[in-house]
Structure formats: C-alpha cells, structure tokens
C-alpha cells in the first residue's frame, strides 16, 4: 500500500536508562516570553503553508547538490563509524563532493561507463552514497538493488537491467564471486572500501576515487561539466523480486527533484539537522527522502551500524530526524513505555502529558524540557519522526506528539518516486497518510457511499513507466495521466488522504515489506503436483498474542490429482497435504525469507474466474 519494500530482519533490543520527568520546569515558565513567542508562532503558521514561497523549484539532483556544496562546504555531510568501537567520522560537503566528482571522472574516463547501467548493492555505507550521487550527477543509469536477494534473483536483476557494472560491498563479495562467470556481459565489478588496482574486470572503489582525483588535478573537469537532462531515464528501481511478475520502475532526475520540492513545502529542515539512516538505501524512500532531501538542505546523515546498535548510535550521533517504518516506531514506543513503567513513573508521565497539552494550547511549550530524560535516551535532539510503508497505530503517533516530537506519515509508491502525500509538520494528523503534495492531483475512482474508492494520482513525481513493459504501464497510467494506485481510501473534508484498504493483491508486512502473490504463485504453479494456486495474506486468528498483527503468507492450492496419482500412486488426503506442503517448502528455498509461505490450504473444486480466466481474488478470499 504505502512506500514499498522494506525488511527489518530482526528487531532491535532497545536499552534505555530509567526514565524520569522534570516537574520543576512548571515553575520556570516565563509567561511574558511565552506570549511573545505565541504571537510569532501564529504569524509563522500563516506563512508556513504549501501555498507560499517556501517551496523550492529544482529540476535535477545535480542542481541542488551543487548549490549545497557551494553554501555549506565545511558543514557535516555524512557521518560513518569506521569500526564499532570507534567514534563517528565526519565527511564534509566539500570532501563528499570531491569524492563524487573523482568517482564520476574515473567511471566515465577510465572505465568508459558513460550512459551505462550500474548496479549498486550493499549495506548502507559511505561508498553507497558516493556511488549513487556520482550516477545521478552524470555517469549513467543507477540500479539500486536489494542486498538480500538470493543469488538467482540477483542474477536475474543484473540480466534484466542489462548492467555493465556492479558496485558492491565487501559483505556481498562472496555472492559476486559465485556469479562472475555467469555474468559475462558485466564489464566491471567494483568493490566498496577497496583500493585494489584494476585487474581485468575487478577494481576497488577507493582506487577509482584516487585515480579520478589525479585526473582532476591534471585539469580534467569533464564530469563536472556534464549537463543533466531532467527528463532522461536515469534510475531503475525494481519493485519486488525479479521474476516475470516484478516490474522495473524508470525514474528521471525530475522525479527526484520534484520530491525534494514537494517536501520543502510541508516540513522545514535546517543545515543543523541530522537524519539517522536506518532503512536500506536500495529503496526509493530512504535514498530520496533519507539522503537526497537532507543533501538539498545542507543537513547531514548519520549511518546506523545496524538494528542492534540503534540506541547507542542515536546517543552518539544526536540526530534530529528519523525516517522509519511502523514496526520500528511501535517497538521504540513500547520499549520507552516499558522503561517508564519499570521506573514507576507511568502516572507522572501521563499526568505531565495532560498538563503540557493544556499549556501547549495556551502557547506554552515545555515538552522537551519536561520529558528531557526520554529525549536523552534518543540522543537528546530528536524532533521529527517520519513513518511510511504501512499504517501506524494512531495512538503511537499521538503519544509521540504529546511528548513534543513532530510525527509525520507519508504515502507513495516506488512509481511516485516515492512521495505523493505527506502530513505537514504544521498540521499533524496521526490517522492520515498525508495531504497530497503541492504538485499532485488526487482523485477517488468510483467512490462508494462512504466516499471510498481507488486512489488515483497525477503528479510530476510519477515514473516514466515500467521498464520494457509498455503494456503494464498503460494498465496503471490512464489517458489523462492519472496513476491507478490500487489502494483504497478517501479524502476527508480537510484534504487528508485516509487509506482504508490494501493494494488489490500485494501483501504488506508490519515492517513495510511488500510481497507480490503473483511471484510466488508463478513458482508454485510450476510444481507438477499443483494444478493452480492463490497466495494471500491471512489475518492471524483472534485470541492469539495481543501484539500479533503480521499477516500470514498463505497458499491456497488445487492439487493436480492426476499427476499425483501418476507420480506417487493413491494417497490419502493427509498424504496429499503433506506432499504438497513438502513441495511448498522447496519453493520457499527459492524465495527470500520474508516471502516464504507459512500456511497451506487445500482447495476442492475450481477457483472462480473472470471471462479472461483470471482468478477473482476478492470473491475467492471471501470464501472460507
């Protein structure tokens, strides 16, 4: 439904010190100062709307990146820990730009990769950022790729993308080694954090950066002079998997730049701000809003070492903003409140929330001081949390706002690069997926009596189309330029988008990862013993664990009884079930773990179908 394709393989074990609140702050209120600030705040709210001159108008990534480098050369840009026990290392905008230009120069002049497709795969690290920015600023077409893909899917991504090079992290080295002989069309394999000299097809990223700097020192400014066509196909995102069912989303510089323009109209980010990067960069949400957006504002990005290190990294990096998914937000909320309860401060915190809310209505905001202990556990400076990928419990968002954190939700898809709606910071609404971005036009198709229908989106952030799939492109983008999202909802009287239903077929996990049933069905239907299958996300049984919300990936299967008898003889119902289940487990081995089928249903009879022989999913899933 909302932003696609996230996976949190394990949940972090948050460790907080005991919580307390500072009630003394109530006695320190300067009421004259508050009245003055209240007046200024009202005036600011009048100005701070999408319809004033706050919004930027960039056309390319290179345009706003060049501007930020000129304005903030010595400001922190990327913060990365060289080792777990070492402090964060800060790379400035000037240093980052030098590495980007050097890599771009080397890739175009030494490796001759101009206008070619380049896979970028690996965990979040400095080399990923440098590689992506070099691609966007003039090398060729970037193909950000999920580092958790099984070998067969990675091979398919490379082939379908027609990639000429792969930039990979050291942790992916073994996988790349296993695929090298098969990927004969790939010209170069470039390893991050490596200074290895060029040896046939292998070369180190650091080596290329150093060689690029030598060329620049000799007067080669060709890369920096490359002019970017805002409309040219420059990024290829794969929506999910790499079977014939997956789709490649083609984006251009304009799509990404318009995302930046849209966000500036809804939230203010300052050069002093610091985003905390937790989510994978191969997804459009993190690479655009978690990376390019702060770059456009002169802000910095601190890289999280991994889920198990979230809290110590927060406390060291002192970020002001986090982009995340509901599962992580809700886990954070639970852990904080568990500590509050253990500290026997639950009643005090709830009381102070009510008091500070009343004061806030009077223009007196002392939340950050009263709840200082909570903030300190999150690094001390956190002011914004943005959640996307799936709906979050509104109570969680409201609680975060009650303690003084700006909580925002966004809505979009890879096809909209990804922002199409966002909750403005000046008009919070934890129940909404956001307001349509300034440049977008939303419509509800064939609304029912409640005003609900499919959400249609017309926006300059919309993709160029599906890669090498004009037929699918025409299915989702109508003649008037509206994208048919497949999501169901309505737009309320204040202009907020309220989502009430899931995408037609997609299964959205609690941490925002999307599972496309057609992909799994395609594999199941190749099994001799299976005649036909339907994969869906089954709601967990009532009466289970209170916090169990995860949909169960379930396969409803019609056995091929004739083939079963031919291959295995006469079997009982239980034996047929066990046989099919064993075949399903074999299919699971071909899938990434989060896509694995967890439950099996044997269907008697035939699936109800349309005149074109497509299964009527909606009707089938209403049946027991």
Where are the CATH 3.30.300.30 domain residues in the chain?
A: 516-622
In whole angstroms, what is the distance from residue 578 CA to residue 600 CA? 10
Distance CA 256, CA 65 (A): 12
Strand partners, 121: 145, 168
Pairing label, strands 406-412, 419-422: antiparallel
CA distance 12 to 36: 43
Q: Looking at the chain, how many residues does it have?
A: 624
Burial of 281 (0-12, 13-18, 19+ CB in 10 A): buried
Q: What per-residue confidence (pLDDT) applies to 338?
A: 83
Phi, psi of 372 (to 5 degrees): -55, -40
Q: What per-residue confidence (pLDDT) applies to 6?
A: 47
d(CA 237, CA 4) in angstroms, rounded, equals: 11
What is the sign, positive or negative, of the torsion defined by CA atoms of 184, 185, 191, 194?
positive
Alpha helices (runs of H) in 455-598, residue ranges in sequence order: 470-476, 517-524, 561-568, 573-588
- Please give the pLDDT value at position 237: 96
Distance in angstroms (rounded) separating the CA atoms of residues 109 and 208: 10
168 closest CA partner among 179, 184, 181, 156? 179
Per-residue confidence (pLDDT) for residue 44, from 0 to 100 = 45
The phi-psi region of residue 481 (left if phi > 0; otherwise alpha if psi is between -120 and 50; otherwise beta) is left
> Is 61-69+92-227 a CATH 3.40.50.2000 domain?
no
pLDDT digits over 338-392, tens only?
A: 888 888 888 888 999 999 988 888 888 899 989 998 999 899 999 999 998 767 8
Residue 22's region, left for phi above 0, alpha for psi from -120 to 50, else beta, is beta
pLDDT of residue 533: 93
Rounded to whole angstroms, the Cα distance separating 405 from 377 reads: 14
d(CA 452, CA 498): 9
CA distances to 108, 132, 200, 221 from 212, rounded to whole Å, are 10, 16, 18, 10
Place of tokens 């497509």: 614
The residues that bridge with 252 in the sheet, in sequence order, are 233
Return the residue matching tokens 């709601």: 539
* CATH assignment of 516-622, among 3.40.50.261, 3.40.50.1100, 3.30.300.30, 3.40.50.11440: 3.30.300.30
**Which pLDDT does position 548 carry in this prediction?**
61
Give the Cα separation of 387 and 587 in Å (integer).
Answer: 33
Are the CB atoms for 259 and 58 separated by under 8 Å? no
pLDDT (0 to 100) of residue 450: 80
CATH tag, 23-46+277-501: 3.40.50.12780
Three-state DSSP at 295 gives helix
Q: What pLDDT was estimated at residue 513?
A: 75
Intervals of the chain under pLDDT 70? 1-53, 240-245, 390, 501-504, 514, 542-549, 609-614, 618, 624
- Burial of residue 327 (CB within 10 Å: 0-12, 13-18, 19+) is buried
Residue 132 is predicted with a pLDDT of 98
User: Which residue ranges does the chain devote to CATH 3.40.50.980?
Assistant: 61-69+92-227
Encode pLDDT of 558-616 as tens digits. 999 999 999 999 999 999 999 999 999 999 999 988 899 999 999 988 888 643 356 77
- SS3 assignment, position 435: strand
């Amino acid at each position: 439904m909302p932003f696609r394709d996230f996976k949190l393989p394990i949940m972090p074990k948050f460790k907080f010190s005991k919580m307390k609140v500072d009630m003394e702050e109530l006695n320190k209120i300067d009421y004259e100062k508050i009245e003055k600030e209240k007046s200024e705040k009202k005036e600011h709210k009048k100005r701070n709307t999408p319809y004033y001159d706050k919004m930027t108008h960039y056309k390319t990534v290179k345009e706003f990146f060049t501007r930020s480098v000129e304005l903030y050369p010595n400001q922190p840009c990327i913060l990365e820990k060289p080792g777990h026990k070492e402090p964060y290392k800060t790379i400035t905008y000037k240093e980052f730009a030098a590495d980007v230009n050097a890599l771009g120069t080397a890739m175009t002049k030494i490796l001759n990769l101009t206008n070619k497709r380049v896979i970028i795969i690996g965990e979040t690290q400095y080399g990923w950022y440098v590689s992506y920015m070099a691609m966007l600023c003039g090398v060729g077409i970037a193909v950000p790729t999920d580092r958790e893909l099984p070998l067969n899917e990675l091979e398919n991504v490379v082939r379908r993308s027609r990639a000429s090079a792969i930039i990979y992290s050291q942790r992916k080295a073994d996988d790349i080694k296993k695929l090298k002989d098969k990927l004969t069309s790939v010209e170069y394999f470039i390893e991050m954090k490596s200074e290895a000299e060029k040896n046939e097809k292998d070369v180190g990223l650091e080596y290329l950066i150093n060689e690029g700097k030598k060329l620049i020192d000799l007067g080669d400014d060709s890369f920096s002079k490359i002019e970017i066509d805002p409309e040219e196909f420059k990024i290829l995102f794969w929506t999910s998997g790499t079977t014939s069912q997956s789709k490649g989303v083609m984006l251009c510089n304009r799509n990404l730049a318009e995302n930046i323009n849209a966000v500036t109209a809804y939230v203010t980010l300052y050069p002093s701000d610091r985003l905390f990067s937790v989510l994978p960069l191969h997804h459009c949400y993190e690479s655009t809003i978690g990376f390019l957006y702060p770059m456009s504002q002169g802000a910095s990005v601190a890289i999280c070492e991994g889920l198990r290190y979230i809290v110590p990294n927060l406390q060291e990096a002192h970020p002001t903003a986090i982009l995340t998914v509901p599962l992580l937000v809700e886990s954070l909320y639970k852990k904080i409140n568990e500590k509050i309860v253990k500290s026997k401060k639950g009643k005090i915190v709830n009381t102070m929330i009510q008091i500070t809310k009343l004061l806030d209505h009077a223009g007196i905001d002392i939340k950050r001081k009263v709840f200082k202990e909570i903030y300190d556990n999150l690094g001390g400076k956190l002011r914004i949390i943005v959640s996307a990928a799936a709906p979050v419990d509104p109570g969680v968002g409201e609680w975060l706002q009650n303690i003084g954190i700006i909580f925002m939700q966004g809505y979009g898809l890879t096809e909209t690069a990804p922002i199409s709606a966002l909750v403005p910071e000046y008009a919070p609404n934890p129940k909404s997926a956001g307001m349509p971005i300034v440049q977008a036009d939303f419509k509800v198709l064939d609304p029912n009596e409640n005003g609900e229908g499919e959400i249609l989106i017309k926006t300059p952030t919309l993709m160029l189309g599906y890669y090498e799939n004009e037929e699918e492109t025409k299915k989702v983008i109508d003649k008037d330029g509206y994208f048919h999202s497949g999501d169901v909802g309505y737009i309320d009287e204040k202009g907020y988008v309220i989502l009430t239903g899931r995408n037609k077929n997609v299964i959205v996990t609690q941490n925002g990862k999307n599972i496309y049933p057609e992909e799994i069905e395609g594999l199941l239907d190749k099994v001799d013993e299976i005649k036909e299958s339907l994969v869906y996300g089954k709601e967990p049984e009532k009466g289970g664990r209170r916090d169990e919300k995860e949909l169960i990936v379930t396969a409803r299967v019609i056995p091929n009884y004739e083939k079963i008898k031919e291959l295995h003889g006469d079997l009982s119902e239980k034996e047929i079930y066990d046989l099919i289940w064993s075949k399903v487990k074999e299919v699971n081995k071909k899938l990434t773990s989060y896509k694995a089928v967890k439950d099996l249903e044997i269907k008697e009879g035939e699936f109800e179908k349309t005149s074109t022989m497509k299964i009527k999913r909606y009707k089938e899933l209403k049946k027991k």
